[in-house]
Structure 1
């Protein structure tokens, strides 16, 4: 197996027992991190000089609808009602399997380009098995680590999730499967309980949207059935009461915020502060390229700045002045985009940290400075020099590898040309 030694970088391991950043080497054996430390023995390894670089765990985008990539930016001025009516109501039914494939492939490649190595692909435009299989094919072709969250088009509130479709889906070294259900906000109590139970019986992450309103009776039914737990992932969470956020946190559930989308479309204020007050933290997603940028580091910065703004305002109301000490750090924001994302997708034992035994998923940032944590958090796509997934370079010297980008662009253009005429003005 191939052994690589990344030598001399400022390394951000995100491991709880190590410094925020440190000068270290990273030894990779095949698809696994063998060691992280200073002056590691290079015997038998290809040595890659990464001095004056920052190495950190691959980023995790825990919530993205990649199938919408061909419509990038079309909904920049849409409210949530516009998005639901125009994209789901008018356009989703026009998708062909080939549109699902190219949207997913292009969306996943875009994530790799921006340093995301693990993607929670929330695919809820699957009217036929052919649509599902095409989306899966696009995800596999990109070479990203993917959690394919199988969803369905919006349907009756009492319809249970089609678990036979979930059961037939293939898994692989880089591909796991979860369930993207309508969830208690949009389902009857019986249907919500059935969906949660099906996920629990299969050991799958069950993910659902919840925003723009208080939790309904189906939430209480799921809780009474004892089905809330670490495999529960709530997307957005805006509108949940303090009591319900605590219930979810105490159960070990995760909440994924998509802050730019939530603030811009009207989901509600991100629940970052509610989580932090309970000693918990959000994972992050970018939701949809049709509405918001696909950059999870931007999501981290927006979530950080938004919550700092609320904290300053609360302090100003209490004392007449902004806070004199920072309430949240850059390192915390990076955990939201790495370790918390891994936990939300059920992969916290495999990715999200750089330490021995973890998968070799990492990002190399072209840059250095007195504060490597801030340099990493402020990085843009142009700063991402290299990306590795399972010990294999997917981006190197600022260029994506093993991808015919010309063909991808042309297929995406043709898909957009097919779909855009169906977007209502």
Structure 2
């Protein structure tokens, strides 16, 4: 198997037993990290000099509706209700399997380009098995690590998740691929009857799958209590948004090990409610991050991390001034915490904490090299803050499972011009269907 030795970089391992940053070597053997330490032997390994770079764990985008990639930016000025009306009311039924494939392929490639190595693909437009298979194939072709969270378009509250399709995917398209994991994108307790929510979450638990569900702005519906009574909340439960959930419910879910994913740019812009970051931090927990919908916001996890950080600091500063009449003299949240949300917490939310999110021996070799020599980052006095402040142009290299997917600031992928042409054609056709329905203006 191939061996690669990364030498000369400032390394942010995100491991709890190591310094925030250190100048150490990383030895990659096959798809795993073999060792992290000073002056590792280079025998039999390709040596890569990353002097002037910062190496971080691969970023984790826990929540992206990748199937919407072809409709980028059409909803930049949509409210949440407009998004639900135009995208889910007028457009979803016009998607073909080819539309699903090209959006997932292009969207996943873009995530790699941004430094994301693990993607939670919340695919709630699996109209048919062919649609689901095409979406999965798009992920496979991109080379990204992904949890394919199978979902369907919104349906009546008493209609359960199609479990035959879950079992088919487990036995077929997802099985045997070390970069793919299956999960369930459920309507969940907020949008299902209590009986249906219990049946769906129990089915996920019986299969050992992550069960992810949306919840935005408002009091929990009766389905939440039904799930609590059935003891179905746990570490493989993921709540997306969680905006405006009462703090007693957040405490109940945190105590049960439930993970939360905030998508701050979309939540703040579309009106989901106040991001759940603050209530989690007050309980000693932390969010993971997603970018949600390319139709509305760009898919950059580091941007989401900075927005979540800045928004929470703003709330905390305002609270401090109200209670003391003075400015706070210390920050309430740190850059390292925000970087952890995009790495460690993301891996935890997707059930992959034993494989990704940290740089340590025996973990998967999912790594990102940030070029800290660039004018917008130099001089890199604080490597953690520098990594958090990086943009796409600073993401020099991306490795997934020991294989380079980006080097020298360029994706390693064939046929990108064809991918872009197919994505444009798909988007134009889908946009035309919305225009005919009166959803958008020329």
Q: Shorter-chain TM-score: which interval?
A: over 0.9
Shift of 1:140: 0.6
Q: Distance in 2 between matches of 1:163 and 1:422?
A: 31
Q: RMSD across aligned C-alpha pairs, in angstroms?
A: 0.7
Secondary structure (helix, strand or coil) at the match of 1:233 reads strand
Unaligned runs of 5+ in 2: 374-379
Question: Match for 1:413 among 419, 424, 427?
Answer: 424
| Bigger Cα displacement from structure 2, 185-194 vs 319-328 | 319-328
1:139 paired with 2:139, answer yes
1:357 paired with 2:362, answer yes
**Contact 1:160–1:191 (CA under 8 A) maintained in structure 2:** yes
Q: Distance in 1 between matches of 2:56 and 2:364?
A: 13
1:399 paired with 2:406, answer no
1:306 paired with 2:317, answer no
Secondary structure (helix, strand or coil) at the match of 2:190 reads coil
Shift of 1:417: 1.4
**Contact 1:142–1:403 (CA under 8 A) maintained in structure 2:** no
Secondary structure (helix, strand or coil) at the match of 2:197 reads helix
Match of 2:377 in 1: none
Question: Match for 1:230 among 231, 235, 243?
Answer: 235
After TM superposition, the score normalised by the length of structure 2 is: 0.95
Match of 1:389 in 2: 400
Secondary structure (helix, strand or coil) at the match of 1:184 reads helix
Shift of 1:107: 0.4
- Deviation digits for residues 387-409 of structure 1, max 9, x if unmatched? 00000000000010033210100
- Deviation digits for residues 356-388 of structure 1, max 9, x if unmatched? 000000100011511000110000000000000
**Contact 1:215–1:239 (CA under 8 A) maintained in structure 2:** no
- Deviation digits for residues 246-294 of structure 1, max 9, x if unmatched? 0110000100000000000000010100000000000000001001110
Q: Distance in 1 between matches of 2:76 and 2:327?
A: 32
Question: Match for 1:253 among 247, 254, 258?
Answer: 258
Match of 1:183 in 2: 188
**Contact 1:235–1:256 (CA under 8 A) maintained in structure 2:** yes
Q: Distance in 1 between matches of 2:350 and 2:409?
A: 28
Q: Distance in 1 between matches of 2:250 and 2:205?
A: 21
Shift of 1:212: 1.6
Q: How does 1:5-404 map to 2 (within 5 A)?
A: 5-169=5-169, 170-171=174-175, 172-367=177-372, 369-404=380-415
Secondary structure (helix, strand or coil) at the match of 2:189 reads coil
Shift of 1:177: 0.3
Secondary structure (helix, strand or coil) at the match of 1:342 reads helix
Q: Distance in 2 between matches of 1:248 and 1:336?
A: 18
**Aligned pairs, number:** 425
Q: Distance in 1 between matches of 2:413 and 2:189?
A: 41
**Contact 2:244–2:275 (CA under 8 A) maintained in structure 1:** no
Q: Distance in 1 between matches of 2:219 and 2:110?
A: 34
